[in-house]
Amino acid sequence: MQPTPPKPSPALLALANAVPSVLWSALALVPISVYCYQHMARPWLYGGLAGSMLAFGVPRAWLGYWQLSRRAAPYRQLGVALAGRLTQNGDVVNRLIRHRYPAYRHVRSRAGLAALLRQTYYQERFHLGLFLFFLFAGGYAVGQGQAGWAGLITLANVGYNLYPMWLQQYVRVRLAAQGS
């Protein structure tokens, strides 16, 4: 009987996956936080935050209507697969973990695949809510004549929200292709 290969601890997995999450979050959330604190009137800020939170109530079926494609190729052409390499549970993190734990797999079972599918919908809603808030804040900046801030917020919105929403869709497209 062969010994069970060692598994990474949950703490190690959490730490390894936290690094890209914290990095990307800081790159996007620090500038918009500074902008909102320094330049946005509080009633507009609170209203924009409240309105964007409605995205968490979007039904799962609606997300399918907004999906970019039912095929993986358009996502790859836009660089979504490359972006996925640099995120939590992405290729870079998994490669680093497998260096020490070669048998490690993020998803190991059908139940794990179902959990991953549910997680993609949650993540897409999260980034949709932030996308709407960043869009609102960028529009506010335009309305205030602050083109530099509007550009920075728009750039952050594309990198921190649009691409992650596409990444969740891409993961679902790939999961559907595996299930066929």
Q: What is the pLDDT of residues 48-62, one digit of tens each?
A: 999 999 999 999 999
Domain that holds residue 134: 10-179
- Mean pLDDT check: name the lowest of 47-51, 72-76, 157-161, 173-177: 173-177
Say how many domains are in the chain: 1
CA angle 9, 125, 80 (to 5 degrees): 75
4 within domain boundaries = no
Computed on alpha carbons and rounded to an integer, the radius of gyration of the chain in Å comes to 19
What is the pLDDT, as a whole number, of residue 1? 67
Residue 28 carries which side chain, given as an amino acid letter? A
Nearest to 56 by CA among 160, 6, 131: 131
DSSP class of residue 55 equals G
Q: What percent of the chain has pLDDT over 90?
A: 82
71 within domain boundaries = yes
2 within domain boundaries = no
Q: For residue 72, give Cα distances in angstroms to 67, 77, 174, 180.
A: 11, 9, 7, 14
Say yes or no to pLDDT of 180 above 60: no
Mean pLDDT of 39-44: 98
Q: What is the pLDDT of residues 6-28, one digit of tens each?
A: 889 999 999 999 999 999 999 99
Start-to-end CA span in the chain (Å): 35
